[in-house]
Amino acid sequence: MRLPSFLQRTATFDHGIHPVYHKETGCLPIRRFPYAPKLFVPLSQHIGKPAIAAVKVGQEVLRGEIIATADGFLSLPIHAPATGVVEAISPIASDSGKMEMAITIRVYEADSQEIKVRNPHELEGLKGKDLALIMQEVGVAGKGGAVFPTHAKLVPPSGAVIDTLLVNGAECEPFLTCDHRIMLERAHDVLTGIKYARRVCGAPRAIIGIEDNKPDAIAALQAALPDDGTVSIKVLETKYPQGAAETMTYAILGREVPVGKRSSAIGVIMNNVMTLAYMGRLLPLGEGMTERVVTIAGPAVARPGNYIVPLGTPLRFLLEWVGARSNASEVILGGPMMGAAVSSLDVPITKGVCGVLAFGKTEVEPQRSYPCIHCGECLSACPKKLNPTQMGLLAAKREFEVMADRFSLGECFECGCCSYVCPSHIPLVQQFRIAKSFLKDKARSA
């Protein structure tokens, strides 16, 4: 239920949940991670076409050098995350569970790992798609969840007028604090990124949305805001999923993204703070994306924190280095609400990985599940105002079409609020995912 605005302390959306946040790593400064002996760099670290390998086995590569080129506009080049030698170009395990092509680099141990290859451009006066094409060379993709190439996301579809660039600094997933640290430590980069992003999308103003559990980050950004008043900060209630595009757009602007449309239809383009911070840092220097900040945490991690991790670092190396406890039995990429458990520790860190969480045996003990008691908790938690109660009952009967036709299954963005609150421990989101992929397969084969 939405409170009248005068009772509302901070901007927010309807429904949602208040999980335990476990944001202890938020007070730890970002530290640099060492180089693993071998890095595994997948050619597809973004949504869109995979990059095309531009190196040969046995070839020496310098850190920052392009090792794979973009295949069209909706694609990204890949830069060597370390100086070393290409050992293989072969399929490896990926976080999706499928095998994917990757370039394996054996890192030169004694190398200083300076960035030696830069390609800066004259940015003055450039805007719109011209600037986007230069952005593409940096190779930045969305750092939040969906790994959409940033330059492509910033270009509005023809005809759309963008009035606001929303910058997502909510970081509503428990455990994750990398965006928090970035806003705190690299406020300047964030604002530089916003400057260039606005030039591409043409938005006259930008609003940064931050949950009110990060007062230090809010203060740091506030101090760095430009004087012309075109960039402002909106403090948001700490509530999950405040950082989802739909909920945040509603919380800040009161606009709902119409069903089946993109947010550009209502004049909004959203980017994540870390994405823009890297864009702001790398674009003026003409450097490529070779690393990212990752939160490594969870009950089974001895030394949790925020680390600058070279892209391609395998999880096994990562967890050994932060001291995974012996009871660790589940490793998740991303946050605990939406992140996926990995099946192999050979999976490398890629551009879209914001967190690595390790849980011990006891924390993942399966709970006894009960029949749906029709309590309606899931319905009261769903930020999309769907009816998970009915959809859950239908899913159990495998009536997937009814779920889609009558209960807007397609609108579910799998935030997990319904499963989180369900006292019967019914895996609702999981059922919805199965239903969706079933319908997708059916549509494809039809």
Partner 1 sequence: MTQPIELRAAPHQHSGRDVPTIMRNVVYSMLPICVFSIWQYGLSSAALIFVVTLSCLAAERINNHFSGSVNTLSDWSAAITGIILALTLPPAFPLWMGAVAGFSAIWLGKSIFGGLGQNPFNPALIGRAFVQAAFPTAISTWAPAFAPHRFSEFIPSSLAAPFMSPPDIVLWAKQQGVDAFTGATPLARWKFENISASSMDLLTGNVTASAGETSAILILLCGLYLAFRKFLDWRIPVAVLGSVVLVAWVFHFAQPARYPTPTFVLLSGGLMLGAWFMATDMATSPVTPRGIWLYGALIGILTVVIRYFGGLTEGVMYAILIANAAAPLLDQFSQPRVFGNERDKS
- Pick from partner 1, ligand SF4, none: which does 366 bind, CB < 5 to 8 A by kind? partner 1
**Between 27 and 375, CB nearer to ligand SF4:** 375
* Residues of span 285-324 touching partner 1 by CB under 8 A: 300, 319-320, 324
Q: Which of 328, 354, 391, 394 binds partner 1 (CB under 8 A)?
A: 328
Nearest approach, Cβ of 344 to partner 1 (angstroms)? 7
HSE-CB of 174 using CA atoms within 13 angstroms: 16
Whole-angstrom Cα distance, residue 283 to residue 122?
10
Residue in this structure with the two tokens 């009816």, named with its chain if needed: 387
- Pick from ligand SF4, partner 1, none: which does 339 bind, CB < 5 to 8 A by kind? partner 1
Q: Which of 162, 289, 349, 386 binds ligand SF4 (CB under 6 A)?
A: 386
Strand, helix or coil at 106? Answer: strand
Angle at 372 between CA 367 and CA 374, to 5 degrees: 135
**Between 134 and 386, CB nearer to ligand SF4:** 386
Q: Does 195 bind ligand SF4 (CB under 6 A)?
A: no
**Between 56 and 368, CB nearer to partner 1:** 368
Q: How many CB atoms lie within 10 A of CB 96?
A: 11
> Tokens representing 367?
């709970």
Q: Does 24 bind partner 1 (CB under 8 A)?
A: no
Q: What are the DSSP E strand ranges found in 155-264?
A: 164-169, 205-211, 231-236
Nearest approach, Cβ of 330 to ligand SF4 (angstroms)? 20
Q: Is the dihedral of CA 270, 250, 258, 46 positive or negative?
A: positive
Q: Does 358 bind partner 1 (CB under 8 A)?
A: yes
**Between 31 and 261, CB nearer to ligand SF4:** 261
Q: Does 370 bind partner 1 (CB under 8 A)?
A: yes
* DSSP state at residue 438: H
Nearest approach, Cβ of 345 to partner 1 (angstroms)? 6
- Pick from ligand SF4, partner 1, none: which does 426 bind, CB < 5 to 8 A by kind? ligand SF4
Q: Which of 374, 398, 440, 442 binds partner 1 (CB under 8 A)?
A: 374
User: Which amino acid belongs to residue 424?
Assistant: S
* Residues of span 366-385 touching ligand SF4 by CB under 6 A: 372-378, 381-382, 384
* Residues of span 409-428 touching ligand SF4 by CB under 6 A: 412-418, 421-424, 426, 428
Q: Does 40 bind partner 1 (CB under 8 A)?
A: no
Question: How many residues bind to partner 1 according to rule CB under 8 A?
Answer: 71
Q: Does 389 bind ligand SF4 (CB under 6 A)?
A: yes
Angle at 363 between CA 360 and CA 365, to 5 degrees: 105
CB 314 within 8 A of CB 345: yes
CB 25 within 8 A of CB 304: yes
* Residues of span 385-424 touching partner 1 by CB under 8 A: 385-387, 389-390, 406-408, 411, 414, 416, 419-421, 423-424
Whole-angstrom Cα distance, residue 354 to residue 293?
7
> Tokens representing 347?
């999976």
Stretch that binds partner 1, among 28-36, 155-163, 273-281, 362-370 (CB under 8 A): 362-370
**Between 33 and 407, CB nearer to partner 1:** 407
User: Which amino acid belongs to residue 42?
Assistant: P
Q: Which of 101, 225, 427, 438 binds partner 1 (CB under 8 A)?
A: 427
Angle at 178 between CA 331 and CA 319, to 5 degrees: 30
- State residue 89 phi and psi, 5-degree precision: -130, 100
> Distances in Å between the alpha carbon of 95 and those of 102, 134, 311, 314?
13, 29, 14, 11
* Residues of span 132-191 touching partner 1 by CB under 8 A: 174
**Between 203 and 395, CB nearer to ligand SF4:** 395
Torsion angle of C-alpha atoms 133, 137, 142, 146, degrees rounded to 10: 80
Pairing outcome for strands 305-310 and 31-32: parallel
Footprint of ligand SF4 on this chain (CB under 6 A)?
Answer: 372-378, 381-382, 384, 386, 388-389, 392, 412-418, 421-424, 426, 428-429, 432
